[in-house]
């Protein structure tokens, strides 16, 4: 393996691919909209297109591709388990099909684990051996690092913080349960809650918008729109309850929060801290540094590249 890899990240909104070197620099990065009705074939076609563009523009020929997927995977076997937001990918043998199509060695990673490793390598949790990375995107992803190593579990499901149940009778979740963290603190949930609550806030500017996303709601909230303030406060309450539990269980040194809905930081952070203070043991709660992710949407790509370099022995330690 050379000291460059192709690293990709399949998000609910965008599919990104980049040529990354062993210093974590993105030499060239491309992205395309994630197809609405996604299946393995469409991913393979799209990754093939983006990979060709990366190879042509950089004049390089990376020999391996590491691809971050939003769901539990078996990192060694490259097997995909149930992906609540992309059910068509289950058991799709994406590794072998991508390898064949692109004539390249392929490994898969869980996207939140990759983001956690990226933030630890070059981002907000650099220098911390034990950290949790929570991504508030289309869903809520979670990556856990203990003593510098990703915690995966024998089934690859470790770190699925988004599917901690917080309201047993709450909204149905894609995983089959109800009231998971993902149903309250993801970008998708923030939009849903705004729609559910808007009847109670007739003066809200949301009524003037035909379509809105969590960033739009944050902008309104920043200017005092009471509905938007309340929606982010609720997202913060649920996030805080889940994190208090994580702090009690894992005693992490750092918690990194990223993803599109983390844009709303100023509107949810107080409610989140208040729940943590109320519910977690004092010492681990005081120790856990809660910081915003600093690599933005590149965290998954950077971390996936790191794990590929580490696996091949090019990098030994973060
Ligand atoms: Zn769930």
Each residue of 56-107: pLDDT tens digit?
A: 999 999 999 999 988 788 767 777 876 666 777 777 788 888 999 989 999 9
Rounded average pLDDT over 40-61: 93
Residue 271, Ramachandran bin (φ over 0: left; ψ between -120 and 50: alpha; else beta):
alpha
What is the mean predicted confidence (pLDDT) over 296-304?
94
Q: What's the whole-number mean pLDDT along residues 276-304? A: 97
Domain count, the chain: 2
Of 91-95, 112-116, 188-192, the poorest mean pLDDT is in 91-95
pLDDT value of residue 84: 65
Tokens of 292: 């915003």
Q: Is 120 within the bounds of a domain?
A: no
Containing structural domain, residue 73: 4-115+297-311
What separation in Å is there between the alpha carbon of 164 and the centre of ligand 1?
7
User: Do 202 and 65 have their domain in common?
Assistant: no
Widest CA span in the chain: 60
Residue 245 clears pLDDT 60, i.e. is over it: yes
For residue 281, the surrounding DSSP H or E stretch is none
Same domain, 302 and 219: no
On the question of pLDDT at 317 being above 70, the answer is no
- For residue 231, is it within any domain? yes
Q: Report how far ligand 1's centroid is from the alpha carbon of 178 (Å).
A: 6
Distance in Å, CA 205 to ligand 1 centroid:
31
Task: Report the pLDDT value the prediction gives residue 194, as an integer from 0 to 100.
Answer: 97
**d(CA 184, ligand 1 centre) in Å:** 11
Are residues 288 and 180 part of one domain? yes
Quote the percentage of the chain above a pLDDT of 70.
97
What's the predicted TM-score (pTM) here? 0.91
What CATH code is carried by the domain that includes residue 223?
Answer: 3.30.420.40
Distance from the CA of 81 to the center of ligand 1, in angstroms? 14
| pLDDT score of 70 | 84
287 in the same domain as 143: yes
Q: In what side-by-side order are the strands of the sheet with 140-146?
A: 149-150, 140-146, 131-136, 254-258, 289-292
Query: What's the gap in Å between 142 CA and the centre of ligand 1?
Result: 12
The answer as to whether 121 is a domain residue is no
Give distance in angstroms: CA of 196 to centre of ligand 1. Answer: 19
Alpha helix stretches (DSSP H) within the chain? 40-58, 94-102, 111-122, 182-185, 187-197, 214-222, 226-250, 265-279, 282-287, 299-311
* pLDDT at site 11: 84
In a domain, 122, yes or no: no
How far, in Å, is the centroid of ligand 1 from the Cα of 173?
5
């Amino acid at each position: 393996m050379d000291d460059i890899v192709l690293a990709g990240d399949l998000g609910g909104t965008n599919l990104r691919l980049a040529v990354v070197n062993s210093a974590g620099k993105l030499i060239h990065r491309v992205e395309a909209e994630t197809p609405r009705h996604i299946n393995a074939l469409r991913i393979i076609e799209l990754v093939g297109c983006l990979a060709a563009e990366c190879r042509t523009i950089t004049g390089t020929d990376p020999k391996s591709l590491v691809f971050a997927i939003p769901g539990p995977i078996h990192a060694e076997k490259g097997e995909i388990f149930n992906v609540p937001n992309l059910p068509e990918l289950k058991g799709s043998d994406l590794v072998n099909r991508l390898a064949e199509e692109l004539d390249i060695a392929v490994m898969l990673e869980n996207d939140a684990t990759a983001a956690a490793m990226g933030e630890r390598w070059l981002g907000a949790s650099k220098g911390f051996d034990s950290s949790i990375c929570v991504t508030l995107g289309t869903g809520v992803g979670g990556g856990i690092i203990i003593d510098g190593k990703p915690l995966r579990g024998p089934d690859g499901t470790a770190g699925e913080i988004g599917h901690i149940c917080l309201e047993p009778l709450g909204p149905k979740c894609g995983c089959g349960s109800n009231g998971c963290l993902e149903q309250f603190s993801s970008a998708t949930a923030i939009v849903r809650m705004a729609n559910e609550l808007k009847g109670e806030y007739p003066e809200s500017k949301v009524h003037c918008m035909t379509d809105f996303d969590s960033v739009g709601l944050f902008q309104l909230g920043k200017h005092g729109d009471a509905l938007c303030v309340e929606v982010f406060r609720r997202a913060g309450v649920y996030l805080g309850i889940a994190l208090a539990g994580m702090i009690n269980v894992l005693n992490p040194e750092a918690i990194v929060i990223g993803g599109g809905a983390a844009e709303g930081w100023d509107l949810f952070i107080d409610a989140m801290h208040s729940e943590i203070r109320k519910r977690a043991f004092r010492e681990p709660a005081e120790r856990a540094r809660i910081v915003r992710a600093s690599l933005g949407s590149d965290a998954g790509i950077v971390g996936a590249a790191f794990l590929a370099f580490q696996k091949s022995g090019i990098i030994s330690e973060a």
